[in-house]
Amino acid sequence: MRVNHAGEVAAQALYHGQALVARCAATRDLLLKAAREETDHLAWCETRLKELDSRPSLLNPFWYAGSFTIGAVAALMGDRTSLGFVVETERQVEGHLDEHLARLPADDARSRAIIQTMRTDEIAHGMSAKAAGGAELPSPVRALMRNTARLMTATAYWI
């Protein structure tokens, strides 16, 4: 759950960075709406961490700062690229959540419900961004995003 919490910190920051630089008001509104929904996810994960007698990642300030910067840079490339970044981010998050659901103990209904709800919301974010004109990102960019997420996931699990 710590990894999911760190991911929600990063998602919120990503959307805030993108919204700050978005050129179109409709794009900005879409990003800020998604960020608000990520706030709900963040709260659910934080509550669940407490219930599990655990804690958030100590690197959350780093995740936020780095993701905010990445979001702003993506948005500097234009709204279509920025929205494409949302589409790819949410595609990768969906995969991560699917893996997490597969590893969860069958009797952990509380964590399972949180993750399934988050998954549904993440899919909707990606679909909204695609419908708003998100461009397909080049393969090397998608690979860089995937590798960055793996590094963050592995680190957040322990620290």
Q: In CATH, what class is 2-158?
A: mainly alpha
Within 8 A by CB and 6+ apart from 126, the residues are: 86, 87, 89, 90, 91, 94
pLDDT tens digits along 54-84: 999 999 999 999 999 999 999 999 999 999 9
pTM, entire model: 0.91
C-beta separation of 53 from 1 below 8 A:
no
**Within 10 A of 120 (CB to CB), how many other CB atoms are there?**
11
C-beta separation of 31 from 18 below 8 A:
yes
Q: Mean pLDDT score of the chain, rounded to an integer?
A: 93
